[in-house]
Chain A
């Protein structure tokens, strides 16, 4: 592999990892703070992508579509928390799995009713449609660089929100002791609703900005959900920092697993087994540190 190709793959890996981080951070926040395991998290990613496709098609402007999409998904998140999720806080994980699995079926079918079962593409907005030439034949699209940049900005904002604002302080207090926080006069219900809506919006936003580079298709939610579970398990549940490190690690393993060619004893190990590589990484982490890289000791 020559240097420009390597550079392109490296950029792709980082971009994929950062995108995974956006989705996984919502998953890990919702679990870490509210104690809810949310299988429907991948569906929000899918909903985001479909919203980007249908709104930008109807409004003719990608940016307006994204802004509107964020508002809609925040409202969706608050509605779901108010209607269903808040009834699960005191229940066993089993019922959380059950209810959110039911939500997946509902969202998949609603998607099929509203938007159909076809695969769609979203055009890259004109402002970002250029490419940066690396060699005579290779170039890197600006849009992907922009995606990585946005993800980094959001990661920094999330860090600042949780560690350095009053709201973040309340969220952290609520995560460590719900009852105590409530008795100090903080509206924990509202706080949880906000956290859930934030998680939903993060996943949906990831879906929206990913729509122009990966096509919009049924089943995209399930795929991303399972990879995000792997991210959360590797990083440690509830740890946003862990999610960032694990997501980047998975981005690297997955991307380079698909482009490297390794043969052992006449059998092509890579890229044939690339789909399994991230799970093998997870197995290794489980053997070494079952609680994840940044998780609390079990």
Chain B
């Protein structure tokens, strides 16, 4: 049972490394890690659906994108939005959207669910792409980053990349701990039960549709948080934020890292973005090796990179014994 302690020690070490990173690293690295942590929040939110509730969504970018758009549209033209108002607003918007879409898509299961989530996300993509709302296919700039003042006091300045890094780090840790608590609660037990055998959970008297819907809305809101942060980081929103390529790559992060654990999607986000960056520096046609890597993961690593680690520790345990 030493494995658990080793894992916790490794996690604390990683956290410490993340906490001191801005004091040593250059601007590029800090911004890269900020982006990775945002994607890790996004991937964790999807894992709540895919890994825990057993709902494979291929349209999760809809909630990521919509809250970016909510920030862009609610920001006054020559002023900054208020951080403490706009973040909850964006997350609530994503939650309402998830509630509406969830009521529709949860009527179907399995392979239908995959197709229908994809189709609804694409509908939103076309809404922003084809109509003039928020600049159409070009997207919309957010010239001033949200202001974090509370009654004149400003705890941090989002225009500074160092401050933004720590805000994202804090939210990243908060989401991780929050999901840990949620998954250990009765709610978490029920959605895991739904994953394994929904009919049995229903006959035990749990209203499974409501639980699945709650999980879908929660995942949508957390994806919304990630989308909000992403819009703040890059200062721009465009229809690609809702597109299926993003939904696909975040699903890759979850599966690559290892679904059904919270560390898995984080590992997946780091691995995927660093791999992408590495391949991009090698060749213009980086999607070719990326695609090959994904195909190989699908064939050879059913439990993701996390599964690889536990496989090694298990074989070591077997060797020790």
Interface residues of B in 34-90 (CB under 8 A from A): 50, 56, 58
Give complex CA distance A233, B108 in Å: 10
Q: Which residue of A lies closest to B50 (CB)?
A: A94
A279/B295 contact (C-beta < 8 A), A97-B251, A237-B112 known: no
> Is B3 at the interface (CB under 8 A from chain A)?
no
Give the residues in chain B near A222, CB-CB below 8 Å: 244
Q: Residues of B contacting A282 with CB < 8 Å?
A: 116, 119
B297 on the A face (CB < 8 A): yes
CB distance from A293 to the nearest CB of B (A): 13
Inter-chain residue pair count (beta carbon < 8 A): 127
Q: In the docked arrangement, what's the CA distance between A107 and B297, Å?
A: 17
B108 near A290 with CB under 8 A, answer yes
Interface status of B214 (Cβ within 8 A of chain A): no
The reply to whether A112 and B119 contact each other, CB–CB distance below 8 Å, is: no
Report the Cα distance A109→B283, complex, angstroms: 11
At the interface, yes or no: A247 with Cβ under 8 Å from chain B?
no
Secondary structure of the B contact surface, majority rule: helix
Give bound CA distance, A229 to B114, whole Å.
10
| Across-interface contacts of A99 in B (CB, < 8 A) | 294-295, 298-299
Given contacts A230-B119, A279-B119, contact A109 B108 (CB under 8 A): no
Establish whether residues A229 and B119, one from each chain, have CB atoms under 8 Å apart when the complex forms.
yes
Q: Assuming the A-B contacts A97-B114, A272-B130, are A106 and B119 also in contact, with contact meaning beta carbons closer than 8 angstroms in the complex?
A: no
Among B109, B116, B129, B290, the most chain A Cβ lie within 10 Å of the Cβ of B116
In the complex, the answer to whether A93 meets B114 with C-beta atoms within 8 Å is yes
Contact string against B for A residues 98-114, beta-carbon threshold 8 Å, 1 for contact and 0 otherwise? 11011111111110110
Instruction: State which of B115, B287, B291 has its C-beta within 8 Å of the C-beta of A229.
Output: B115
- Inter-chain contact B126/A106, CB cutoff 8 Å: no
B118 near A98 with CB under 8 A, answer: no
| Contact, CB under 8 Å: A84 / B287 | no
**How many whole Å from A219's CB to the nearest CB in chain B?**
10
How many angstroms from the CA of A237 to the CA of B114 in the assembled complex?
12
Which chain A residue lies CB-closest to B109? A298
Residue of B nearest to A94 (CB): B56
Q: Is A166 an interface residue (CB 8 A)?
A: no
Q: Contacts of A286 on B, CB cut-off 8 Å?
A: 104-105, 107-108, 116
Cβ 8 A contact of A226, one of B122, B131, B287, B295? B122
A283 to B103, CA, bound (A): 10
State whether the Cβ of A146 lies closer than 8 Å to any Cβ in chain B.
no
Instruction: Confirm or deny: B248 has a beta carbon within 8 angstroms of a beta carbon on chain A.
Output: yes
Question: Once the chains bind, are A105 and B294 in contact (CB under 8 Å)?
Answer: yes
Query: Is A4 close to B, CB under 8 A?
Result: no
Q: A286 CA to B287 CA in the complex, in Å?
A: 35
Kindly list chain A residues whose C-beta atoms are within 8 Å of the C-beta of B116: 229, 233, 282, 286
What's the minimum C-beta distance from A292 to chain B, rounded to whole angstroms?
A: 8
Chain A positions within 8 Å of B107 at CB level? 286-287, 290
Kindly state whether residue B154 has any CB partner on chain A within 8 Å: no
Q: Are A273 and B127 in contact (CB under 8 A)?
A: yes
- Nearest A residue to B293, CB-CB: A102
Would you call A190 an interface residue if the criterion is a C-beta within 8 Å of the partner chain's C-beta atoms?
no
CB distance from A104 to the nearest CB of B (A): 7
- What bracket does the count of chain A residues touching chain B fall in? 35 or more
Number of interface residues of B (CB under 8 A): 43
Which residues of chain B have C-beta atoms less than 8 A from A97's C-beta?
56, 58, 114, 251
* Proximity bits, B120-143, A CB within 8 Å = 1, else 0: 101100110111000000000000
B288 at the interface (CB under 8 A from A): yes
In the complex, the answer to whether B111 meets A98 with C-beta atoms within 8 Å is no
- Complex CA–CA separation, A31 to B112 (angstroms): 11
Shortest C-beta distance, A105 to chain B (Å), equals 3
> In the complex, what residues of B have CB within 8 A of residue A287's CB?
104, 107
- The answer to whether A233 touches B298 (Cβ under 8 A) is no
* Residue among B108, B109, B119, B292 with the highest chain A CB neighbour number at 10 A: B119
- Does residue B285 face the partner (Cβ distance < 8 Å to A)? yes
Cβ distance A63 to chain B, nearest Cβ, rounded Å: 32
A298 to B50, CA, bound (A): 21
Which residue of chain B has the shortest Cβ distance to A238 in the bound complex? B111
Chain B residue contacts of A87, Cβ below 8 A: 299
Residues on the A chain within 8 Å of B297, using CB: 98, 102
Contacts of B129 in A (CB 8 A): 275
B302 touches A (CB below 8 Å): yes
Nearest-Cβ distance from residue B27 to partner chain A, whole angstroms: 30
In the complex, what residues of B have CB within 8 A of residue A76's CB? none
B288 adjacent to A279 (CB under 8 Å): no
Cross-chain contact B295 with A102 (CB below 8 angstroms): yes
* Chain B residues packing against A (C-beta within 8 Å): 50, 56, 58, 104-105, 107-112, 114-116, 118-120, 122-123, 126-127, 129-131, 244, 248, 251-252, 255, 285-288, 290-295, 297-299, 302
Known contacts A98-B255, A102-B297, A279-B126; 12 further A-B pairs (Cβ under 8 A): A98-B251, A98-B252, A102-B295, A104-B291, A106-B295, A222-B244, A229-B118, A229-B119, A232-B115, A233-B116, A279-B123, A282-B119
The 10 closest A-B pairs by CB, nearest first: A102-B294, A105-B291, A279-B123, A275-B126, A106-B291, A99-B298, A102-B295, A109-B288, A98-B298, A109-B287
> Can you identify 29 A-B contacts, CB atoms within 8 angstroms?
A37-B115, A84-B295, A93-B111, A94-B50, A94-B56, A95-B255, A95-B298, A95-B302, A98-B294, A98-B297, A99-B294, A101-B251, A101-B294, A102-B290, A102-B293, A102-B295, A102-B297, A104-B291, A105-B291, A106-B287, A108-B287, A109-B285, A112-B285, A229-B119, A230-B119, A233-B115, A273-B130, A275-B127, A275-B129
